């Protein structure tokens, strides 16, 4: 276990995987697009707009999955004092924030034709918006230090605080929403999911997950190179 926590060792395993993961990403996303846009029926209530679901819902899952991964990586790094976990958390954050943004924007584009408005303060939308704030806070903190290793360690503490708070925030937003139920929204639940809709959803989710892994490896390589560059420069300054 400890052997793989060495970033160099990790990349030695991850690099050969990169072409395979990239291929899977393209394959799954292509299949997801085909199934989502052509092969799946339109919803009897939502019509064609249901096709937005095939990117909206997987990106919502990714938003949560990536934050969960960051919290796990940060926790392991803090407990066993391995830098790899901090690096994974840092490399994941922009991907997670992007998926959260996609989720919010596509949700908005889905809401306009369905509910007649770009935004409602619905419990789920609000929770995702707050998740986006947490990502932004993490990214701001991790980049706010001159010593990047220090920034990563501190930001891992933040991501854990956020992970503990997330259920509380979610609960509070649900509570708040039941107090202020918006009247305009008729149907908050997504369409009843039929198997012909489930497949594009699942395949697209796998595609998004693979995309996350690909970008994660690329960004880890950047981080690792940056660490080595810093060490060389520190060594030069010391001479």
Partner 1 sequence: MEQITEFLAMGGHGAYIWSAYGITTIVLLAVLVVSIRHMRGQEYLLQQLRAARRGGASHQNELDE
Partner 2 sequence: MIRAMGLIIARDVRLTLRQGTDIIMILMFFLIATALFPLGVGPEPNILARMASGVLWVCALLAAVLSLDHLFQADYDDGSLDLLTLGPLPLELVVLAKVAAHWVVTGLPLILAAPVLALLLNLPTDGYATLFMSMALGTPILSLMGAAGAALTLGARRGGALIALLVLPLYIPVLIFAVGAMDAAIAGLPAKPHLLILAAVLATALPLAPWAGAAAIRQSLD
* Binding positions for partner 2, rule: CB under 8 A: 78, 130, 133-134, 136-137, 140-141, 144-146, 150-151, 153-155, 157-158, 160-162, 164-165, 168-169, 171-173, 175-176, 179
Span from 11-19, 93-101, 121-129, 172-180 in contact with partner 1 (CB under 8 A): 93-101
* Minimum distance, C-beta of residue 170 to partner 1, in the bound complex (Å): 24
Contact 158, 141 (CB under 8 A): yes
Alpha helix ranges (H) inside the chain: 7-34, 53-80, 83-115, 123-142, 148-179, 195-238
* Minimum distance, C-beta of residue 224 to partner 1, in the bound complex (Å): 8
The interface partner of residue 49, options being partner 2, partner 1, none and the CB cut-off 5 to 8 Å by kind, is: partner 1
| CA count, 13 A, side-chain hemisphere, 178 | 5
Q: What are the φ/ψ torsions at residue 47 (nearest 5 degrees)?
A: 65, -145
Identity of the residue, 161 or 232, whose beta carbon is nearer to partner 2 in the bound complex: 161
Identity of the residue, 93 or 159, whose beta carbon is nearer to partner 1 in the bound complex: 93
The continuous run of DSSP H or E covering 35 comes out as none
10: left (phi over 0), alpha (psi -120 to 50) or beta: alpha
Identity of the residue, 157 or 229, whose beta carbon is nearer to partner 2 in the bound complex: 157
Q: Which residues is 47 bridged to in the sheet?
A: 43
The interface partner of residue 82, options being partner 1, partner 2, none and the CB cut-off 5 to 8 Å by kind, is: none
Q: Among 3, 8, 13, 184, which residue interacts with partner 1 (rule: CB under 8 A)? A: 8
d(CA 118, CA 218): 35
At a CB cut-off of 8 Å and minimum separation 6, what does 217 contact?
A: 11, 14, 15, 17, 18, 21
Residue identified by tokens 């926590």 is 5
* Minimum distance, C-beta of residue 165 to partner 1, in the bound complex (Å): 26
Interface with partner 1 (CB under 8 A), residue total 38
Identity of the residue, 165 or 222, whose beta carbon is nearer to partner 1 in the bound complex: 222
Identity of the residue, 95 or 141, whose beta carbon is nearer to partner 2 in the bound complex: 141
Contact 87, 220 (CB under 8 A): yes
d(CA 70, CA 73): 5
Which residues lie near partner 1 (CB under 8 A)?
A: 8, 33, 37-38, 42, 47-49, 51-52, 55-56, 59, 94-95, 98, 101-102, 105-106, 109-110, 112-113, 211, 214-215, 218-219, 221-222, 225-226, 228-229, 232-233, 235
């Amino acid at each position: 276990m400890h052997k793989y926590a060495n970033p160099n060792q990790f990349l030695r395993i991850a690099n050969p995987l990169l072409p395979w993961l990239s291929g899977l990403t393209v394959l799954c996303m292509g299949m997801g697009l085909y199934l989502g846009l052509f092969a799946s029926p339109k919803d009897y209530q939502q019509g064609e707009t249901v096709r937005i679901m095939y990117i909206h819902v997987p990106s919502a899952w990714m938003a949560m999955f990536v934050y969960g991964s960051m919290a796990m990586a940060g926790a392991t790094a803090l407990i066993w004092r391995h830098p790899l976990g901090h690096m994974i958390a840092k490399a994941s954050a922009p991907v997670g924030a992007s998926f959260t943004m996609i989720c919010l924007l596509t949700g908005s584009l889905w809401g306009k034709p369905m509910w007649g408005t770009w935004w409602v303060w619905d419990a789920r939308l609000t929770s995702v918006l707050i998740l986006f704030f947490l990502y932004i806070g993490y990214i701001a903190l991790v980049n706010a230090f001159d010593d990047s290793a220090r920034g990563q360690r501190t930001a891992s503490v933040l991501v854990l605080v956020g992970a503990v708070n997330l259920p509380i925030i979610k609960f509070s937003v649900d509570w708040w929403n039941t107090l202020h139920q918006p009247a305009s929204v008729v149907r908050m639940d997504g369409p009843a999911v039929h198997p012909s809709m489930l497949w594009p959803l699942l395949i697209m989710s796998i595609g998004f997950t693979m995309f996350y892994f690909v970008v994660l490896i690329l960004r880890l390589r950047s981080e690792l190179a940056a660490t080595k560059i810093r060490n060389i420069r520190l060594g030069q300054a010391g001479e």
